[in-house]
Amino acid sequence: MDRAGRWQDMSVDGVSREALVALWAGKLAMLVSRSLGRGGTTWPGRLATALEPRLLDRLARVPARGAVVITGTNGKTTTALLLSSIARASGLQVVHNLAGANMSSGIVSAFLENVSWRGQGRGDLAVLEVDEGSLTGVAPAVRPKAVVVTNFFRDQLDRYGEVDGTVRQVRDGVERCGAGTQLVLCADDPLGVSLSEARVPLNGSAPWLYFGLELPAADGASAHLTADGSQCVRCGSPYHYQRLYYSHLGHYACSACGHARPAPAVYAREAQTEADGTTRFELVTPAGSRTCRLKLPGLHNLYNALAAAAGGLALGFEVDRIVEGIESASTPFGRMEPFSVAGRAVVVALVKNPSGFNEIIRTIRSRPGPYHVVFALNDLAADGRDVSWIWDVDFEQLASPGSGELAWAICSGRRAQDMAVRLKYAGVVPERLVVEPAIDRALRRGVRLLPPGQTLFVLPTYTAMLSARRVLALDALPRASAGR
């Protein structure tokens, strides 16, 4: 295989005239889209697939090492980025839908970028972030070597419905994978563990691999225990938690039927956040233990690192290369992504559901306060039209008096007023609230108001994040490391 990134003599198998026309149309659409300053990550793939519905199946045959799929509610982008870095550290060239377009059309677009006009492909391994609702269509086409499931939380009720429906969608996708597909599941999430029942052991060997935490219970986690996954997946009785990390993730057991957290093969212990915002932890695997440093803070990112490590093991990578890949990975866009604007530190952290939002707040509160925050709430299709979920976020902890309280907040986006009302009911006094729906003006005002030496936290929903990053990129330079 060619490690220098040159086109390989590896044509798309059985290229038909229809497939070539679809490929050319998609690549041309990508050129036009990008010449217009747009991403070109979705509609080129949609156009190409409309012309040749089997195109993804053909393109997915190009990488010689096959594909790995990452799905689940939170952490897909970060886990996929880390797993891509692991693969590169192992000497592979990677096809990756890095821009986060994770439906079928976005995945086709990612492949189109790595196929020439003559149908020759490059890439040893495809690392694909896949939307939970798209797995049933993508899995049979790409035939992944492994499926990494990060977690399940309530998310975008108007699109996914309750979390049980999301689990069913992913289970349907898993059942459409080949018998040799390895499942990588979070042992601390009973909803994720329930997917193992969709697989049958082969030759006495379980086709799944668990990852989890072996740490003391997290401070304040019990306040955020949600009903989404805290009832036994087998009998419906409440789980008893020996340790709780956040939401319903932890060490659980059901006293009624005996269902309990399985022991993870890949886990972290002795984790701590360093002064520079990185996370140092001991990574334990069946192939040995290593000290590892992750450039991101927070328990949720530690879970992402473990998911990537377990995925790397499932693909056969060496532990040293896994550690090298995690430590060398860049910060994913919009996930605790640092910027420097006019000499001020700005951190952008995507928020999209209550569990993830609570973890972002807890990560922010692990630093000395007071805190300066721009909330940007949109309700476009990619954000979820229903914004009632903000009433399940624990904003009250930001309003509590003391060194950890909110200095001020600017509420922005299409639903800026809703955000301000929610913060007011959480106890934030109106004198500390500003409503500025225009995201560009909100950000620039936030930077102007920010005291020297402090950090401005920007917490946007998905489409608001895209707008915020464009504004920040006009004047900012990405910082060298996260969390400073």
pLDDT in tens, 434-463: 999 999 999 999 999 999 989 999 999 999
The token pair at 416 is: 């800026």
CB 330 within 8 A of CB 188: no
CB 347 within 8 A of CB 373: no
The token pair at 37 is: 């300053």
Query: Is it the case that residue 240 has pLDDT exceeding 50?
Result: yes
CA 355 to chain centre: 13
C-alpha torsion 46→50→56→58, nearest 10? -140
Separation of alpha carbons 359 and 25, rounded Å: 43
pLDDT, residue 40, reads 65
- Strand 240-246 and strand 249-253: the pairing is antiparallel
Q: What is the mean pLDDT of residues 68-83?
A: 96
Most confident residue range from 112-126, 248-262, 390-404: 248-262
Q: What is the DSSP letter of 354?
A: H
CB 181 within 8 A of CB 147: yes
pLDDT band at 9 (very low <50, low <70, confident <90, very high): very low
Residues 6+ apart with CB under 8 A from 384: 155, 156, 157, 158, 159, 352, 461
Query: Is it the case that residue 224 has pLDDT exceeding 90?
Result: no
Of 400 and 231, more confident: 231
Average pLDDT of the chain is 88
The token pair at 89 is: 């550290």
Residues 6+ apart with CB under 8 A from 436: 410, 411, 412, 416, 442, 445
Query: Is it the case that residue 14 has pLDDT exceeding 90?
Result: no
pLDDT band at 475 (very low <50, low <70, confident <90, very high): low
89-102: per-residue pLDDT in tens? 999 999 999 877 88
Matching residue, tokens 């003006």:
441
Residues 6+ apart with CB under 8 A from 188: 212, 213, 245, 249, 250, 251, 252, 261, 264, 303
Q: Which of 92-106, 279-293, 406-420, 435-449 has the lowest mean pLDDT?
A: 92-106
State whether residue 63 is helix, strand or coil. coil
DSSP letter string, 196-254: GGGS--BTTB-SEEEEEE-SPPPTTGGGG--SSS-B-TTT-PBPEEEEEEETTEEEEE-
Report how far apart, in Å, the C-alpha atoms of 43 and of each of 115, 229, 349, 434 are: 17, 36, 26, 37
CB 1 within 8 A of CB 8: yes
Q: Which of 139-148, 178-187, 220-229, 268-277 has the lowest mean pLDDT?
A: 220-229
Beta carbons within 10 angstroms of residue 416's beta carbon: 23
pLDDT, residue 7, reads 42
Query: Is it the case that residue 203 has pLDDT exceeding 70?
Result: no
**Gap between the terminal Cα atoms of the chain:** 40
